[in-house]
Structure formats: C-alpha cells, structure tokens
Amino acid sequence: MDLLTLSRIQFGLTIGFHYIFPPLSVGLGLLLVFMEGLYLKTKNPLYHQMTRFWVKVFGLIFVLGVATGIVMEFQFGTNWSTYSRYVGDVFGSALAAEGIFAFFLESGFLAILLFGWDKVSRRMHFLATILVCAGAHFSAVWIVVANSWQQTPAGYHLVGQAPNIRAEIVDFWQLVFNPSSIDRIWHVYMGAWQAGAFFVLSVSAFYILRKKHIDFAKASIKIALLVAAAASVLQLVSGHSSAVGAAENQPAKMAAFEAHYNTEPADLYLFGWVNNDQEKVQFGVRLPGMLSFLIYGNSQKPVTGLKEFKPEDRPPVNIIFQSYHAMVAIGVGLILLAWLGLFLWWRNRLFSLRWLLWVFVFSVIGPQLANQLGWLSAEVGRQPWIVYNLLRTSDGLSRVVTSGQVLTSIILFSLIYLLLLILFIYLLNDKIQHGPAAEDLDTARHRA
C-alpha cells in the first residue's frame, strides 16, 4: 500500500480509538456536576454514593483519553509534517490554547475529584467537579475550531512559493469563528452528552434487571434520561444547522451525503446504495424534494450536485452516504428511545418493562457508533482535501517517512490498542459488577 493510504489508515485508527473516550468524559463530566450538585442541595447520601462511583469510572475513561490523545498531537508532526508546515501558523495557536486553557484545568482538578475527598471541603470538591467538566468542554472547543478551520478556512492568507506555501493568520477571531465552528462544536457537545447519558442509563438499567443497587440505579436513570432526552433533541437541531452550513460552505460534501449528482431539486434518501459508476442511488427509498426543503425551505430549489466537481475533486460517495445515513438513523432512534423513557417514567411504568431496560442496556452503543460515523462522514466528506480547497491530503504527508515505517507503526498501534480495549472493557465490567460501595452511603465517615 502507498504512504497516503497507510497514513490515512493510521490516523483513522488512532483518532477512532481515541474518540471512544473524550465524549464519555465530556458527557459524564456534565452528569457528575448534576449528581454532586444534587447531593449538596438535598444531602441525600444516595447522590454521594452515585458521585463516588461515577468519579471512579470517570478516572478510568480519562486516563485512556489522555494516553491515546497525546498520540494525536504527535501524529500531525510525525505523519503529516508537510501539512503541519502549511497550517502551523494557524492551527498551532488553537492547539496551544487547548493545552493552556483546557488540559491544565482538566488534569489539575481531576486530582481533587479522584483523591481529594478527605482533603478539601464538599463545596471545594464540587467546584473541582465543575472545573473538570468545564475543562473537558473547553478542550473540545479548541480542537473542533482547528478541525473546522480545515473544513472552512477563514482569517488567513497564503504566503511563499510552491511547494513551500503556507497559511498565515490575518484575523484570529475569524479563525476561531470560522463558518462551521459554532455548529460543529454544538454538534460535538450534544454527541458527547448523549454518550455520557446513555452510558449511565445503560449501566443503571443493567442493575435494575439484575435487581442490584435498585435505589442507586433508579436515581441514576432519572438524571441520565433527562440529559439524554434533552441532548438527543438538541442534537437534531445542531445536526440540521450543521448540514445547512455544509450545503453552503462545502457543497461537494453535502452532495455526497445524499449522493446528489445533478444540480437540481434534491431528494432525501432514507436509505440506499450508491452506484458511483452510473452516478445514481440503487434500492433507495426517498422523500422527493425533501433535501431542498430542509436546506432552503423550498422543495423546488436546486442543490449543487457532484457533477459540478471534477472527478478528482469529489469525495468517495458511498462510504459517506452510508455513514451519514446510519448516523442520522441512530440519532432518530435515540430521540425516540429517550422520549419513550420519559413518557413511561411519567406513567410510572419505566422500571417494570424488562424489554425496555434491555434496550437501555445496549443503547450505550448508539451514541458511540453515531459519533464515529458522524466524524467519518465529516472527514471523508472533506476529501480529497486536507484543508478544504487549499491543500490536497496527498500533499500533506511527511516527505521523509516511508510506507514501511508507517506499516510498522500501524501494526504496533493495532496490537496495543486492541490490548487497551480489552483491558478497558474488562476493568469497566469489573467495576460495574462490583457496583457502588455500600460504605459511601455513610457520609458521616467523610468530611462534611
């Protein structure tokens, strides 16, 4: 395989694995703020026990996020050094801001969250929880800003001669508020809140099915369900807004989402299979004019088709079509599931329907898959550009790295990440099987 393919495989593999963890820390961080806040407000020891249990789980998730995250920072330089030279002036300040504003906050106060129970007052501990949650949210801002700049570059000018052209900042705020950053940050946040909420929902539903830690589980489910229901609906809103933005700023990507080849009023497919040679969708079910309606509020208005772009400037269509549609389908499923849960809670039947609790147990996979598929369609949808319309992915590679070296590192990463995944699941399962500690209900043992 060539260097380009291998470097892309390695980036996809390492970012995909990394992205299991940050959404869980962001989402679980938010839930921890609610749990500990409820304890301080109500003094009900159940919430204390809940916070202690989920903080330990948070610690496990966090360390895997850190360990796999440092790989991402290094990889821009190791595998994509020409790209790094090109964007360093712009991209670097976002990464440095992430380190200085977000990571220090998050890692510093995590120490109090995990080990500070008997060292600081409850209010101080709660403050640390809020700061860790804020740090996790800030870190998402900067990395998404940097990524959005690759999708919709703004606030820069180009200097130098080929092959040593590079982008330099002209306006920092235009870089930060580039056309796609706000929509995409919200989209990432909602995906993360869903990941955290459905994770807590899943573990708690499992306890109820096993008739263990019933009070703990019921109280956890209620918090998680409220967050899940809110985040799932807001995710639909942010997804819509993101898609409208993509139609405006990255028309080739939007066209690939719906395999829309001719510039004409566009349909919305529920599902289908793209035949790229014949440039049409087979076995599809579609809502005529619906895409035009969603983008422009007018089902007759034409949407730019893929044929407007030279074949070498088009992204691969079917993989984007499939991942995008799967993401949307999962998103709709999560809305229905969360709101069904709320309805049954209102009817007092939430904890008696075993089939529904089993669906909750497996629902944890939903946001994880949707997050991965969403990024897949967003990043593959940017191809063949590494910086949209400015720099081709094939021109961003490291010039001195060989495909043999990358193949070696892919094999090593695969083995190590497989091991980490197995260990993560094993330890998480072990923690869940042990459940919340009974002594944590006795809050008198801890500092008030």
Partner 1 sequence: MVFDLNTIWFMLVGALLTGYAILDGFDLGVGALHLFTKQDVERRLFINAIGPVWDGNEVWLVTGGGALFAAFPEVYATAFSGFYMAMILILFALIFRAVAIEFRSKQPMHWWRQMWDVSFSAGSIVSSLLIGLALGNIALGIPLAGDHEFAGSFLGLLNPYALLVGLTTVALFMMHGAIYLVLKTEGDLHNNLRRWVNNAIIFFIICYAATTAATLLYVPHMVETIKQAPWLFVLPLLNALAIANIPREIHHGHDMKAFLSSCASIAALLTLFGIGMYPDLIFSSPNPTNSLTIYSAASSAKTLEIMLIIAAMGVPLVLAYTASIYWIFRGKVKLDSSSY
Closer to partner 1 by CB, 112 or 266: give it: 112
Q: How far is the CB of 384 from partner 1 (least distance, A)?
A: 21
Closer to partner 1 by CB, 43 or 119: give it: 119
Closer to partner 1 by CB, 95 or 236: give it: 95
SS3 of the chain: the string is: CCHHHHHHHHHHHHHHHHCCHHHHHHHHHHHHHHHHHHHHHHCCHHHHHHHHHHHHHHHHHHHHHHHHHHHHHHHHHHHCHHHHHHHHHHHHHHHHHHHHHHHHHHHHHHHHHHHCCCCCCHHHHHHHHHHHHHHHHHHHHHHHHHHHHHHCCCCEEEECCCCCCEEEECCHHHHHCCCCHHHHHHHHHHHHHHHHHHHHHHHHHHHHHCCCCHHHHHHHHHHHHHHHHHHHHHHHHHHHHHHHHHHHHCHHHHHHHCCCCCCEECCEEEEEEEECCCCEEEEEEEECCHHHHHHHCCCCCEECCHHHCCHHHCCCHHHHHHHHHHHHHHHHHHHHHHHHHHHHHHCCCCCCCHHHHHHHHHHCHHHHHHHHHHHHHHHHCCCCEEECCCEEHHHCCCCCCCHHHHHHHHHHHHHHHHHHHHHHHHHHHHHHHHCCCHHHHCHHHCCC
Q: How far is the CB of 219 from partner 1 (least distance, A)?
A: 22
Q: Please state the separation of Cα 401 from the chain's center in Å.
A: 30
Angstrom distance (rounded) from CA 122 to CA 300? 60
Closer to partner 1 by CB, 163 or 288: give it: 163
Rounded alpha-carbon distances, angstroms, from residue 244 to 26, 142, 187, 292: 26, 22, 13, 10
Closer to partner 1 by CB, 172 or 358: give it: 172
**Measuring CA to CA, which residue among 399, 380, 377, 397 is closest to residue 388?**
380
Closer to partner 1 by CB, 41 or 162: give it: 162
Q: How far is the CB of 116 from partner 1 (least distance, A)?
A: 6
Q: How far is the CB of 63 from partner 1 (least distance, A)?
A: 4
Closer to partner 1 by CB, 92 or 302: give it: 92
Q: How far is the CB of 188 from partner 1 (least distance, A)?
A: 19
343-347: which pairs have CB atoms within 8 A and are 24 or more residues apart? 345/222, 345/225
Angstrom distance (rounded) from CA 115 to CA 132? 14
Closer to partner 1 by CB, 169 or 319: give it: 169
Q: How far is the CB of 243 from partner 1 (least distance, A)?
A: 31
Whether 209 contacts 361, CB under 8 Å: yes
Closer to partner 1 by CB, 104 or 362: give it: 104
Closer to partner 1 by CB, 121 or 282: give it: 121
Closer to partner 1 by CB, 318 or 405: give it: 405
Token pair of 371 as six digits: 């997050």
Q: How far is the CB of 204 from partner 1 (least distance, A)?
A: 22
Q: How far is the CB of 94 from partner 1 (least distance, A)?
A: 8
Q: How far is the CB of 306 from partner 1 (least distance, A)?
A: 34
Q: Which residues contact 48 (CB under 8 A, 6 or more apart)?
A: 39, 440, 441, 443, 446
Q: How far is the CB of 250 from partner 1 (least distance, A)?
A: 25
Q: How far is the CB of 433 from partner 1 (least distance, A)?
A: 12
Q: How far is the CB of 313 from partner 1 (least distance, A)?
A: 26
